[in-house]
Structure 1
């Protein structure tokens, strides 16, 4: 069975995919279980009655994430070598056993350690739980793409992150409530039951329904481990994405550590409010993941990351101001929500991109390397705050948060320099271009049939049929490597707001009643300078129910006089409105198809012969109509299963 046919058999809706729903529930429950006992551990060490609550929270993060750093690549190798499903089941069962006895283990260690080292009684048991989580993580991330269609990756990651965050919120809030009313022991028991439920969900996944993928069995240990590191090192995009996630988790280590200090500042001694503040951070993550679920498939990853990095920096700066200036619980809570939302967008974008292009055979090891780097940053920041005994550490919370804000803003600037670099336009227009792509995918529901055949350089005339005012935007969204400058009717060019964008796009206004020589000179100058000119040869819209306008001779004249490559393009799926503005405000289901260059070599040198220019225009229009027939034939055949 081909990969395409195997993928087509998977449900079109994620909620109809039994395997995905089971993994979804398993991760949400495991996330809840990971946080249920956290408040109980803080309680055992009396965190809210101390001047170094930041240190206790940092030690919890340090103990849990240290195994990710030490064993991440090995865990990734394991998930590529052995069953990912059974790895997750065994990890959940073992965690259930450990957390069921966690209270007794912490008490035993605390009694045996010197008083100065008593806080480390929570590190050793958490490191054991973290070791199992380190094997669970790459197995889950590598298994997900096998359960779903490739075009569902962004939405699936967003849903999993949303439920995982909701699970974390429930775990924090419920854990805080149980600790307050029933004590730590009952909290650990509920924690163990949650891990058991997660194991059952994973156990029910039907591996016979996985999406097929080429997967060569691996042998040995060190050679495959080295191969995983080599793959990461030799793929710049992977290095960049892992770098962004490393920054995210390093800052997360600081933010999580300072939440108890923020709660104590506003609500001294109140563990339920501590849980509530942690919950607000989680709600922000859930909201961000929800937004990515709705819009994520349409948002270019560059736009998602630039927006999220910038937003994270701004929200962290506000949280630093809340701590320094005591702006109150409402503003503090709002800042925590914003940080969570930006964090979700970063996570979902990076994970979906890695899962999309990393081969299945190496996916576990790549995510193992990723876990080592990202959790290494978490361990580094939490260890720096938790391992040294720093008296009155909570005083430095504003400074710590300011540093985190600066790190995200610098990352946004660096990423922008890379993402907004384009051979044809400046950074400002490149950013607008990303928004154009988002709008086209979301509002116009634009799909590209085949590939874009526009050459990367040289003079090009892109000739298309004209169906609605949104046609130029759709072409720009599909032709990502070239800026297309359109010939636009003068009355549309001079419309408010549109004029600014058309000027940025180097559009050429034309008087449809009297084009004149000035317009022809401008078009020829652009083409002779190696530009790409978009033309609608009909000179007007195709109005449903009326005769299709014929192509005018101007496109043939330009093609013969400039010798430009002519690329035909067919647009379908639009809804026609007399007002171009209304076409932008309405929903469409657009489809664009580009064709091979039109052969006009037989007419070369006859640019002053009207019969030749007419014939050139006819050939170009015939090429566009051929694309239309191809699209109609595919639409009549329906989707291939």
Structure 2
């Protein structure tokens, strides 16, 4: 871990971004636990839980073209601060939910929150390369960001479950709001380097969108890499975790403690995934691509074990394995994109990356909810189907990357793909 500490010591601007991520990611999981509990408490439908995650996923998908242009045209630092402050206000609205008749408010506020989040994520991913230097630091920075998200999943989900279960959902929501404000304060301290490209007029925003899509179309490996997160989401874990906590391994009021423990196990796996993979990755495209391929296999095996799990600890181990693969794919797809894509396109490419991810997540949770509510399949049987489906992305991944053994290096211009 010494190399990660050295990076934080030597790159103070990156350190502020990282500290902001620590508190923001923790708050995100307090919010996830709290809203899932509210839906489980005031509805009696798996589809209702799925609808919550769709409400979180669709706004980023629909707004991704605009979000990418904003990230490439305006100060990314200002975008991050503004979105944090607005979200801090929005999440306090969940405190008004006090019965089944208020269930609509959960979805309305969730949509509003993630409309704003749609602008945050591309800007955060695009600003990171400007705060560090070189390929090695880029790999370390993305790994640290990934394991930070994972650590906050482990700690934030566990603490969120405990706080919501012991002190109540309102306390968890207030902590979530405070985390956004602290994140904004930390990002405000970043002294971002001037942008290489001049910021133009928004009147040409549609042309910017077209240029971004054209860039991806002409660089098929970049397009496939931007799809890795989406392909890993065949079988989103969110609804399965919610269903297992509510129906199979109920532990704590409304399954709050089981929900927190399952998310915590997933977070631990997401920490171990890139840390373990980094032992075998040497900076070449071949090793990065191979690690992503193995990540797809780990996701499939995790679903297989999850469907068989006879106890909560085994289910936690299955989620650990599944998220080792998912986190590895998330981290290395980011590295590949940041190395391949010129800065002037980076916001738009990451917006596409995030859009595909959220669309895949929305479709996955929706169909999972429909299957569980309207067919004879139980959650365990669905897990077995997800294990099979998670292997399918291996075919296009291996085929398109079969002849790309060259070492990657940052390039000032538009690299070949």
Q: Same-fold call, TM > 0.5?
A: yes
* Aligned residue runs from structure 1 range 390-401, under 5 A: 391=373, 395-401=377-383
CA contact (8 A) 1:95 1:129 kept: yes
Cα distance, 1:393–1:131 mapped onto 2, change above 3 Å:
farther
SS in 1 for 2:197: coil
Unpaired segments ≥5 residues, structure 1 = 1-10, 113-117, 423-433, 442-446, 449-641
Higher strand share: 1
The structure number with the bigger radius of gyration is 1
Deviation, 1:244, is: 2.1
SS in 2 for 1:399: helix
Q: Distance in 1 between matches of 2:166 and 2:298?
A: 38
Bigger mean CA deviation after superposition, 412-421 or 280-289? 412-421
Deviation, 1:216, is: 4.2
- Asked if 1:377 is matched to 2:367, the reply is no
Partner residue, 1:359: 342
- 1:144-186 per-residue CA deviation (whole Å, 9 max, x = no partner) reads 0111113121221110011112122222212211111221111
Number of matched pairs: 397
Deviation, 1:398, is: 2.7
Cα distance, 1:217–1:43 mapped onto 2, change above 3 Å:
closer
Partner residue, 2:263: 278
CA contact (8 A) 1:280 1:336 kept: yes
- 1:578-610 per-residue CA deviation (whole Å, 9 max, x = no partner) reads xxxxxxxxxxxxxxxxxxxxxxxxxxxxxxxxx
* Aligned residue runs from structure 1 range 198-277, under 5 A: 198-207=183-192, 210=193, 214-219=196-201, 220-252=204-236, 255-263=237-245, 264-267=247-250, 269-277=254-262
Cα distance, 1:373–1:144 mapped onto 2, change above 3 Å:
same
CA contact (8 A) 2:54 2:361 kept: yes
Deviation, 1:218, is: 3.4
* Aligned residue runs from structure 1 range 65-84, under 5 A: 65-84=57-76
Higher helix share: 2
* Aligned residue runs from structure 1 range 22-61, under 5 A: 22-47=16-41, 52=45, 54-61=46-53
Structure with greater contact order relative to length (CA < 8 Å, sep ≥ 6): 2
Q: Distance in 2 between matches of 1:102 and 1:394?
A: 34
Cα distance, 1:50–1:368 mapped onto 2, change above 3 Å:
closer
Bigger mean CA deviation after superposition, 268-277 or 365-374? 268-277
Q: Distance in 2 between matches of 1:332 and 1:389?
A: 21
Partner residue, 1:488: none
Unpaired segments ≥5 residues, structure 2 = 410-417
Cα distance, 1:206–1:241 mapped onto 2, change above 3 Å:
same
Q: Distance in 1 between matches of 2:9 and 2:279?
A: 14
Deviation, 1:391, is: 3.7
Q: Distance in 2 between matches of 1:271 and 1:393?
A: 27
Q: Distance in 1 between matches of 2:16 and 2:128?
A: 11
Cα distance, 1:416–1:86 mapped onto 2, change above 3 Å:
same
1:165 corresponds, among 150, 154, 160, to: 150
Cα distance, 1:385–1:311 mapped onto 2, change above 3 Å:
closer
Cα distance, 1:33–1:364 mapped onto 2, change above 3 Å:
same
Q: Distance in 1 between matches of 2:36 and 2:390?
A: 29
Deviation, 1:283, is: 1.2
Q: What is the Cα-based RMSD across aligned positions, in Å?
A: 2.8
Cα distance, 1:45–1:408 mapped onto 2, change above 3 Å:
closer
TM-score by length of 1: 0.58
Q: Following TM superposition, where does structure 1 have runs of at least 4 consecutive aligned residues deviating by more than 4 angstroms?
A: 292-299, 392-395
